[in-house]
């Protein structure tokens, strides 16, 4: 068996169903109660089998402490009896003493001490009401740590028998390559998934070097913010739009650079009859190393708009136009 074949085989432990990972950041926050369960039910009924969450969701909300999303998903899994059919992905490394850690800050590197990782894993499993994870991520890199410490800590999670595969999130090409080399040298479990930001208006975190690394090693890139926090739905068009909604503050950075992208998406929508979310996600799965994007939905209607991309086939020319639209 070649290295790539072995990687592809391992990837089947966390890739299943339609090519969409349902983002769990909204559950227990803007999607809760029966409405949140309706979204999860609709996703399952459509053939969706992958859900992504994190222990930090949604600690940024006043009155929340983190773990709300995992708890909500766990309640749904238990009530529907579908755990064996679902691929559950979660992350740790950005919740320190119930305080969310921002990317770019020094954070708390002690979160990647072996015992801390195992404690975080145990807490996630309890909230998710399961005894194993299909995919467990290092939610961010701590570059002040020797990469071997991170590799060993997460390898310990696999050796516990409670994790089937490992992923890295918010890692650079240099650090991911170092992690893979270290895992190979030590006979440790390697990262077989990457979760970085990547979409039509934000492409720096998955540049050419990372794309080459992922495709050569058979690493599945599952990008977050596939719809750029809602910007690529087209609902943010003028100053008034950017002042409204729970996530409006996150999309202000796209206000100017994103205009030509939305314009090209509008043209392709007119040509295909497809929604903007479907176009954005259909472009993503045509990019190197991406088997499925991550996208969240607060309502069943939003989910249905996202799922439309699974029935949309963009032409090569349309893909190229979208790629070229970002100045």
Span 100-126, average pLDDT: 95
pLDDT score for 294: 96
Residue 230: pLDDT over 80? yes
> Which one, of 158, 174, 168, lies nearest residue 193 by Cα?
168
pLDDT band at residue 2 using 50, 70 and 90 as cut-offs: very low
pLDDT band at residue 3 using 50, 70 and 90 as cut-offs: very low
> 272-305, pLDDT tens digit by residue?
999 999 999 999 999 999 999 999 999 999 999 9
pLDDT score for 9: 59
> 20-53, pLDDT tens digit by residue?
999 999 999 999 999 999 999 999 999 999 999 9
**In angstroms, rounded to a whole number, what is the distance separating the alpha carbons of residues 195 and 206?**
9
pLDDT score for 249: 61
pLDDT score for 98: 83
Q: Domains for the chain: give ranges and CATH numbers.
A: 3-195 (3.20.20.100)
> Which one, of 310, 243, 236, 245, lies nearest residue 274 by Cα?
310
Residue 96: pLDDT over 70? yes
pLDDT, averaged across the chain: 93
**In angstroms, rounded to a whole number, what is the distance separating the alpha carbons of residues 103 and 112?**
15
DSSP calls for 130-187? -S-BSEEEE-S--TTS-HHHHHHHHHHHHHTTSBS-EEEES--HHHHHHHHHHHHHHT
Residue 17: pLDDT over 80? yes
Span 237-251, average pLDDT: 67
Give, in degrees to the nearest 5, the angle at Cα 277 between 326 and 136.
90
- Is the Cα torsion angle 261, 297, 121, 58 positive or negative in sign? positive
Give, in degrees to the nearest 5, the angle at Cα 52 between 90 and 98.
50
Contact 59, 97 (CB under 8 A): no
Question: Distance of alpha carbon 272 from its chain centroid, rounded?
Answer: 27
CA separation, residue 278 to residues 38, 145, 164, 220 (Å): 21, 40, 31, 21
* Burial category of 193 from C-beta neighbours within 10 Å (exposed 0-12, middle 13-18, buried 19 and up): buried
Span 98-126, average pLDDT: 95
Percent of the chain with pLDDT over 90: 86
Residue 133: phi and psi, rounded to 5, are: -115, 145
pLDDT band at residue 246 using 50, 70 and 90 as cut-offs: low
**In angstroms, rounded to a whole number, what is the distance separating the alpha carbons of residues 130 and 116?**
19
pLDDT band at residue 10 using 50, 70 and 90 as cut-offs: low
């Amino acid at each position: 068996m070649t290295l790539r074949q072995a990687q592809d085989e391992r990837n089947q432990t966390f890739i299943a169903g339609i090519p969409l990972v349902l983002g769990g950041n909204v559950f227990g926050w803007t999607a809760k109660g029966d409405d949140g369960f309706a979204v999860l039910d609709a996703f399952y009924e459509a053939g969706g089998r992958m859900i992504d969450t994190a222990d930090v969701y949604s600690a940024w909300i006043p009155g929340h402490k983190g773990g709300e999303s995992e708890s909500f998903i766990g309640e749904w899994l238990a009530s529907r009896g579908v755990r064996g059919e679902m691929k559950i992905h979660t992350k740790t490394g950005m919740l320190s003493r119930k305080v969310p850690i921002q990317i770019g800050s020094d954070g708390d590197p002690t979160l990647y001490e072996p015992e801390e990782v195992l404690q975080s894993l145990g807490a996630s499993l309890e909230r998710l009401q399961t005894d194993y994870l299909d995919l467990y991520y290092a939610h961010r890199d701590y570059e002040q740590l020797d990469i071997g410490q991170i590799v060993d800590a997460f390898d310990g999670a696999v050796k516990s028998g409670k994790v089937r595969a490992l992923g890295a999130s918010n890692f650079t090409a240099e650090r991911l390559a170092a992690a893979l080399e270290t895992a190979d040298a030590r006979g440790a479990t390697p990262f077989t998934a990457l979760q970085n930001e990547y979409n039509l208006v934000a492409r720096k975190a998955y540049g050419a070097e990372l794309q080459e690394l992922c495709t050569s090693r058979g690493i599945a890139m599952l990008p977050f913010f596939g719809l750029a926090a809602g910007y690529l739905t087209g609902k943010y068009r003028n100053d008034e739009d950017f002042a409204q909604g729970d996530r409006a503050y996150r999309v202000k950075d796209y206000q100017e650079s994103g205009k030509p992208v939305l314009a090209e998406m509008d043209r392709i929508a007119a040509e295909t009859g497809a929604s903007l979310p479907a176009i954005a996600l259909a472009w993503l799965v045509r990019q190197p190393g991406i088997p499925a994007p991550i996208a969240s939905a607060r309502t069943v209607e939003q989910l249905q708009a996202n799922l439309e991309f699974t029935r949309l086939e963009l032409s090569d020319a349309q893909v190229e136009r979208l790629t070229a639209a970002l100045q």
